[in-house]
């Protein structure tokens, strides 16, 4: 069954050490219509991770938007976040589901592998993410994905599909048209001068579907 909360613009936060700056930028994305927020910070220590995650959770709650924690299941559980996103090197989907409980969102990176997506769904994932569709500035060790994979995957998996990797306003429509329920964006959203305006542009792409 498709989770209605997994759709539209999925904002992935950039590495920022200044929590106020992070909250300000995320609020702009939410004001522009972001439907999910994933907290991802690869450079922060444990104390900063918890501080930023707790602050983001309160912000997202005020917008009634889910906050997903990248990788850190312990952090997600400690602050009672709405969900967690895991990759191949992280805790398995089945373990994340067991630890986190049935009411939380568990998402899984499936790269360009349909078998992983089917496994993740069977293990209790609420969505599967394919990517990278395009060269990514956030992650350099990505595998390429064709939009044809999404079209095929839609016939096999019933959970929402998230497109990720190098997505920009100029190429986002192709990813959405391929059948992705949501698109995850970091640099082309948070790296712009007017984050709310850019988020609105992405949101409009889904409204036109």
With helix as H, strand as E and coil as C, how does 36-87 read? Answer: EEEECCCCCCHHHHHHHHHHHHHHHHHHCCCEEEECCHHHHHHHCCCEEEEC
Strands 36-39 and 105-111: unpaired
Catalytic residue, candidates 2, 54, 99, 139 = 139
- Find out whether 12 and 43 touch, Cβ atoms under 8 Å: no
| Average pLDDT taken over every residue of the chain | 94
Catalytic residue, candidates 5, 25, 35, 40 = 40
C-alpha of 158 from chain center: 18
Residue 2 placed within a domain: no
Tell me how many domains the chain contains: 1
pLDDT tens, residue by residue, 122-181? 999 999 999 999 987 766 666 788 888 999 999 999 999 999 999 999 999 999 999 999
Closest CA to 81 of 91, 89, 73: 73
Was 40 annotated as part of a binding site?
Answer: yes
Was 3 annotated as part of a binding site?
Answer: no
Mean predicted confidence (pLDDT) in 102-117: 95
Was 98 annotated as part of a binding site?
Answer: no
pLDDT computed for residue 5 by the predictor = 85
pLDDT computed for residue 159 by the predictor = 96
β partners of residue 162? 129, 182
Was 123 annotated as part of a binding site?
Answer: no
Was 5 annotated as part of a binding site?
Answer: no
Question: What is the Cα–Cα distance from 91 to 73, expressed in whole angstroms?
Answer: 8
Residue 160 placed within a domain: yes
Domain that holds residue 142: 8-207
Tell me if residue 139 is catalytic. Answer: yes
C-alpha of 63 from chain center: 17
Residue 163 placed within a domain: yes
Residue 15 placed within a domain: yes
Q: Is the pLDDT of residue 4 over 90?
A: no
Was 42 annotated as part of a binding site?
Answer: yes
pLDDT computed for residue 135 by the predictor = 85
Name the DSSP class of 8: E
Catalytic residue, candidates 7, 109, 125, 178 = 109
Tell me if residue 97 is catalytic. Answer: no
Please report, for the domain that includes residue 25, its CATH number. Answer: 3.20.20.70
Tell me if residue 40 is catalytic. Answer: yes
Residue 3 placed within a domain: no
pLDDT computed for residue 47 by the predictor = 97
């Amino acid at each position: 069954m498709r989770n209605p909360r997994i759709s539209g613009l999925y904002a992935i936060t950039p590495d920022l050490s200044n929590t106020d700056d992070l909250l300000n930028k995320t609020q702009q994305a939410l004001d522009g219509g972001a439907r999910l927020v994933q907290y991802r910070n690869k450079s922060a220590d444990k104390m900063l991770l918890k501080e930023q995650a707790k602050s983001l959770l309160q912000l997202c709650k005020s917008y009634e938007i889910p906050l997903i924690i990248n990788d850190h299941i312990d952090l997600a559980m400690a602050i009672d976040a709405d969900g967690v996103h895991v990759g191949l090197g992280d805790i398995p989907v089945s373990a994340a589901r067991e630890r986190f409980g049935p009411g939380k969102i568990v998402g899984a990176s499936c790269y360009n592998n349909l078998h992983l997506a089917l496994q993740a769904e069977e293990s209790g994932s609420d969505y599967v993410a394919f990517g990278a569709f395009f060269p990514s500035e956030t992650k350099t060790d990505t595998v390429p994905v064709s939009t044809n994979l999404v079209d095929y995957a839609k016939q096999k998996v019933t959970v929402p599909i998230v497109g990720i990797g190098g997505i920009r306003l100029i190429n986002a429509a192709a990813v959405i048209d391929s059948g992705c329920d949501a698109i995850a964006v970091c640099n082309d959203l948070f790296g712009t001068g007017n984050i709310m305006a850019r988020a609105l542009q992405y949101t409009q792409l889904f409204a036109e579907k």
